[in-house]
């Protein structure tokens, strides 16, 4: 079930308010033509030209995801976006924790808000922005790109959303079947800069490392050139 709205401050906030008013099925989707206060991770804003991109939030009521494994929802959601875009372009990756990249440029972002109760993930609101037809970005975001910029083609956004929803249904079944390790493996296989050593920066400065793992809790584990492992939460390390 999809509800289309013209303008909203935030699709995540709108969906959260609706869940207080009525019972909604898992997979229910709010899609807006424009957001006045679109949000990204850690309070960042999300730029989107009205009527050009996909801005939507999906309600998920997972069957049995322990609170300490809730990052698997982030893995599943980012894979859904990647698999959707795989239908249109090559070289799509998931940049930890859940941005989606085309090569070295950001094509989609995800903001997930979980409600935890009695040691389980009671519900998730998964907010997603995918750059579809926007040709010019004016914010100070360093590396945005859209599907149309990559291919030169103008896309029917509803077709992309329909493709996503089909994939989301399939991946949600994997989640509800407790196939967490399988999802995690696919997430690691899709991760940006998975191979080789790259430059990173933390509070101590710039260093070279390879991505060693992502823990079930969501921590990124980097293996430095001297063999030492370093573990990071979101925003504690920067990809250079």
Per-residue pLDDT tens for 68-124?
999 999 999 999 999 999 999 999 999 999 999 999 999 999 999 999 999 999 999
200 contact partners, CB below 8 Å, separation of at least 6: 206, 207, 208, 209, 222, 237, 238, 239, 240
**Topology annotation, domain 198-239:** SH3 type barrels. (2.30.30)
Which residues face 58 on adjacent strands? 29, 126
CA distance 120 to 172: 16
> pTM score, two decimals?
0.94
Domain boundaries, the chain: 2-190, 198-239
- The pLDDT of 6-30, averaged and rounded, is 95
List pLDDT tens digits, range 146-199: 999 999 999 999 999 999 999 999 999 999 999 999 999 999 999 999 999 999
CA distance 240 to 238: 6
Task: Give tens-digit pLDDT for 122-157.
Answer: 999 999 999 999 999 987 778 999 999 999 999 999
- For residue 42, the model assigns a pLDDT of 47
Q: Please give the CATH topology (third level) of the domain spanning 2-190.
A: BirA Bifunctional Protein; domain 2 (3.30.930)
Identify the helix (H) or strand (E) that includes residue 170: helix 157-176
Question: Which of 187, 191, 160 lies closest to 174 in space, CA to CA?
Answer: 187
**Does the fold of domain 198-239 match that of domain 2-190?**
no
């Amino acid at each position: 079930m999809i509800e289309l709205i013209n303008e909203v401050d935030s699709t995540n906030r709108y969906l959260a308010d609706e869940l207080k008013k009525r019972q909604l099925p898992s997979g229910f989707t709010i899609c807006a033509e424009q957001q006045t206060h679109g949000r990204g991770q850690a309070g960042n804003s999300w730029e989107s030209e009205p009527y050009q991109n996909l801005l939507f939030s999906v309600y998920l009521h997972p069957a049995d995801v322990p609170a300490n494994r809730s990052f698997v929802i982030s893995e599943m959601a980012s894979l859904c976006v990647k698999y959707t875009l795989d239908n249109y372009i090559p070289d799509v990756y998931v940049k930890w924790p859940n941005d989606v990249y085309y090569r070295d440029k950001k094509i989609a972002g995800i903001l997930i808000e979980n409600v935890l109760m009695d040691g389980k993930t009671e519900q998730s609101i998964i907010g997603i922005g995918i750059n579809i037809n926007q040709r010019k970005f004016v914010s100070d975001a360093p590396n945005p790109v859209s599907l149309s910029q990559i291919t030169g083609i103008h896309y029917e956004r509803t077709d992309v959303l329909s493709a996503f929803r089909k994939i989301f249904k399939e991946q949600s079944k994997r989640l509800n079947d407790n196939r967490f390790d399988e999802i995690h493996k696919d997430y690691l296989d899709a991760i940006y800069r998975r191979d080789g050593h790259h430059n990173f920066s933390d509070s101590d400065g710039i260093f070279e490392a390879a991505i060693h793992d992502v823990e079930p809790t969501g921590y990124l584990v980097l293996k430095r050139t001297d063999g030492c492992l370093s573990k990071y939460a979101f925003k504690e390390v920067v990809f250079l």
